[in-house]
Amino acid sequence: MTDRFSNFADLAEYYAREIATPDYATAFMEQTEMAKLSIEHEPSAVEMPDPDEAQAAIEMMLATVFDLFRDTRMEDMASEVAWGIANSFHIVAKRLDDREDSMANRLKEKLREYDPSEVYATDLEDLTMQARSLAECRDAMECMRDHAARIYLAETGRPFSPVRGSMVSSKTNASMIEARDYLAAQKAQRREKFAPSGPVVLFSGGQQFTDIALVEDYLDAIHERVPSMALATTAQNKGADVIAAAWASRHNVPVILCKPDASRGPSAPYQRNARMLAFKPVEAVVCSGGGIQANLADRLREARIPLHIVRDASAQNEAAAVRTRQAAPGGQQAGKRVANGDDLPPF
């Protein structure tokens, strides 16, 4: 963090902005008057948790962890405990998501078994209620996870990343309309979640890249031009990719983590680079790194995608040293080939 503060009020205001909460009121909204989470339960009118209390609870949990360990020999462990808290919400949200998927599949099967009877309509209403109720709880759990993740980012400077990883026929009755509406909404939500419809910007950089301000300047400029962008990164766990993911989290920019398929061996990162072009990116940023970044930059050039090559200070100093050595006696011919920094290899 490069910001400096002259008083605690400014610091508190900055911190509040950094952990700005997701929309708790929307995430905890009750879609129906009655809820039912499983076939064993009867429909219930019990309300969702209070959104303001949920927000305060998340902030208190995370703040307590960091305050407890701060300025002690266990300070480095605070981030691990905080990560575990955020991850616990993620795990429960994922389980709810899986249960919702299972219920959605049952709904699809039911819709294919159309029966004009009242029993059929009742069963369909029951399944739809269960699916919507699970979706409500999943939304709330994801909201709390995202809030915990923002606090984790503000405290540690690293983005939270979980270990593992949306025409009515003439025979259609009201129950079928509601079920189909739910399924259509779920499908659209999942599609946007895992394949954002906004323009995609590709990003990759080496694990030794540390120039935070430089990365943020480039991404700020692109975000100003493409406010609805999604950021696709090569998902490395340190260096430039982490800086970019942290920036995206602060700016509410969706991130697509493009991890290599380990089963493909040493060629996996290069095959991943090829797959990233399928997103049809509108722009790309590639920071100093190694062969993986050079390969991606070459592919982007071949595809004629607007590309920014970003070198950190150490890489630029090294390039300058190379030019100096090559311009010395005995190296003049080579020096002519690299006299212009733009003619240097990208990394």
Q: pLDDT 10s digit of each residue in the chain, 347 long?
A: 445 545 545 544 554 555 556 678 888 887 667 777 766 677 777 888 898 899 899 989 998 999 999 999 999 899 999 999 999 998 998 898 888 888 888 888 877 787 778 888 888 888 888 888 888 898 899 889 888 988 888 888 887 877 544 323 333 344 444 555 555 565 655 555 555 667 899 999 998 898 888 999 999 999 999 998 989 999 888 889 989 988 988 888 888 888 888 888 888 889 999 988 988 899 999 998 888 999 999 999 999 999 999 987 655 554 555 555 555 555 444 333 333 333 334 45
Query: How far apart, in whole angstroms, are the C-alpha atoms of residue 130 and residue 263?
Result: 38
Structure tokens given for 32? 């129906």
Structure tokens given for 307? 């590309």
DSSP string, 298-319: HHHHHTT--EEEE--HHHHHHH
How many other CB atoms sit within 10 Å of the CB of residue 206? 21
Task: Quote the Cα angle for 166-149-17, to 5°.
Answer: 110
How many other CB atoms sit within 10 Å of the CB of residue 265? 9
Structure tokens given for 231? 């950021």
Listed residue (117, 115, 110, 254) closest to 183, CA to CA:
110
Q: Can you give the three-state secondary structure of 94-162, one letter per residue?
A: HHHHHHHHHHHHHHHHHHHCCCCCHHHHHHHHHHHHHHHHHHHHHHHHHHHHHHHHHHHHHHHCCCCCC
Domains and CATH numbers, the chain: 8-194 (no CATH), 200-310 (3.40.50.450)
Q: How far is Cα of residue 48 from the mean position of the Cα atoms in its chain?
A: 26
Q: pTM for the full model?
A: 0.51
Query: How far apart, in whole angstroms, are the C-alpha atoms of residue 141 and residue 99?
Result: 14
